[in-house]
């Protein structure tokens, strides 16, 4: 746990172990205008709950002192303790409107989402590997009730104020991703939008109507949007805070362009479906990390197509690409 004061506001970073593959996740206590805010809420485990209360106590607070919760995005390693807090204290919970069906585990939305992936993987030529992934997603639907956030959500959008912070929409890693910005100290609470050690996945997701979002193109735009703000410090959802966001953003976008160039090389070499490209690019990981691998390749293909570098063609239920 680290604690520091910046331009009149106090920030306490708390690191939690989570049961997710990512390992540790950060949440932040932010004391702003004499109100205690919580940015993100770790995972829903007894260990996180105990560690959270210990961290509050170490700073002289308790759950009863919390004035609001600000959620950067709807992923379960960022929202886990919301129900436990809301059961004890009725406080506003801010999130993007598109986070609502995901946080409340809306059954219609989640069924639509599974069908979205079923069709996507079919069209991308994934065959049996895609069907296996969809079977897993379908089986996971029954476990959704345990993940349902029961607190009322206060929906906020670009430029809205949330408890003295300015809301920025930064879709990409998640379609409902927000950053909370303090213009005075040029401080950003960025969730998984920017991470110091690992690049964020821009997961392919449907919008509310089941259309595929251009996640990677959105992600690049969201990173570029942060540059003119010249953040002095970015507090991230995993790992250390970032003091040179501009250099990191340039680096991340450069890496994406390089990967896109490699994918284009595979297409020029004769690979034509997203599944073929993913297998050539990632080898065994295509089988072991199917979801993230396909997400990345489809994201890169959409990104390049939007830039006019490649073309897609839909015939007989399959999408093929040419460069
Ligand atoms: Zn995330």
31 CA to centre of ligand 1 in angstroms: 24
pLDDT of 3: 79
pLDDT of 7: 60
Residue 250 contacts residue 194 (beta carbons within 8 Å):
no
298 CA to centre of ligand 1 in angstroms: 18
C-alpha separations of 208 from 6, 80, 152, 192 in Å: 39, 23, 19, 22
116 CA to centre of ligand 1 in angstroms: 20
Report, as an integer, the average pLDDT of 243-261: 97
CA 171 to chain centre: 8
CA 312 to chain centre: 27
Residue 278 contacts residue 127 (beta carbons within 8 Å):
no
pLDDT of 9: 83
Ramachandran class of 90: left when φ > 0, alpha when ψ lies in -120 to 50, beta otherwise = beta
70 CA to centre of ligand 1 in angstroms: 14
Run of H or E including 83: helix 82-88
Q: How confident is the model at residue 238 (pLDDT cuts 50, 70, 90)?
A: very high
Domain ranges across the chain: 2-104+149-243, 107-142+254-322
Report, as an integer, the average pLDDT of 40-65: 96
Mean pLDDT over each residue of the chain, to the nearest integer? 95
Report, as an integer, the average pLDDT of 305-318: 97
pLDDT of 2: 79
pLDDT of 77: 94
pLDDT of 275: 98
Which option is the CATH number for 2-104+149-243: 3.30.300.30, 3.90.1150.10, 3.60.15.10, 3.40.50.620? 3.60.15.10
The pLDDT tens digits for 190-221 are 999 999 988 899 999 999 999 999 999 999 99
66 CA to centre of ligand 1 in angstroms: 23
74 CA to centre of ligand 1 in angstroms: 7
What percent of the chain is modeled with pLDDT above 90? 91
pLDDT of 191: 98
pLDDT at 146 over 90: no
pLDDT of 84: 97
Helices (H) and strands (E) in the chain, counts: 11, 14
Residue 299 contacts residue 204 (beta carbons within 8 Å):
yes
Count Cβ atoms below 10 Å from residue 127 Cβ, excluding itself. Answer: 12
Query: How far, in Å, CA of 123 to CA of 272, rounded?
Result: 12
Q: What are phi and psi of 13, to 5 degrees?
A: -95, 130
pLDDT of 313: 98
Report, as an integer, the average pLDDT of 55-64: 96
Count Cβ atoms below 10 Å from residue 150 Cβ, excluding itself. Answer: 10
Report, as an integer, the average pLDDT of 135-155: 90
pLDDT of 6: 65
């Amino acid at each position: 746990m680290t604690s520091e004061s910046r331009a009149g506001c106090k920030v306490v970073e708390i690191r939690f172990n989570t049961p997710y593959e990512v390992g540790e996740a950060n949440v932040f206590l932010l004391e702003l205008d004499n109100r205690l805010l919580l940015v993100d809420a770790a995972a829903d485990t007894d260990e996180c709950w105990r560690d959270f209360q210990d961290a509050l106590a170490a700073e002289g607070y308790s759950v009863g002192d919390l004035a609001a919760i600000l959620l950067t995005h709807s992923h379960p390693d960022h929202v886990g303790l919301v129900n436990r807090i809301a059961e004890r204290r009725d406080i506003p919970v801010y999130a993007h409107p598109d986070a609502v069906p995901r946080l409340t585990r809306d059954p219609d939305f989640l069924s639509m989402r599974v069908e979205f992936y079923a069709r996507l993987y079919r069209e991308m030529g994934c065959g049996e590997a895609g069907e296996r992934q969809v079977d897993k997603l379908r089986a996971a639907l029954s476990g959704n009730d345990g993940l349902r956030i029961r607190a009322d959500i206060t929906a906020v959008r670009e430029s809205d104020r949330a408890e003295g912070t300015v809301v920025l929409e930064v879709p990409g890693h998640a379609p409902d991703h927000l950053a909370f910005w303090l213009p005075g100290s040029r401080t950003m609470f960025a969730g998984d939008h920017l991470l110091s050690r690992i690049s964020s996945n821009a997961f392919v997701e449907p919008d509310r109507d089941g259309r595929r979002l251009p996640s990677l193109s959105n992600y690049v735009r969201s990173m570029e949007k942060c540059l003119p703000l010249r953040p002095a410090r970015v507090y991230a959802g995993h790992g250390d805070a970032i003091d040179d966001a501009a250099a990191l953003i340039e680096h991340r976008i450069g890496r994406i362009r390089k990967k896109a160039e490699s994918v284009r090389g595979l297409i020029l070499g004769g690979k034509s479906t997203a599944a073929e490209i993913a297998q050539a690019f990632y080898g065994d990981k295509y089988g072991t990390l199917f979801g993230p691998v396909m997400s990345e390749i489809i994201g890169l293909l959409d990104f390049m197509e939007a830039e006019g570098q490649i073309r897609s063609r839909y015939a007989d239920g399959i999408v093929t690409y040419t460069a």
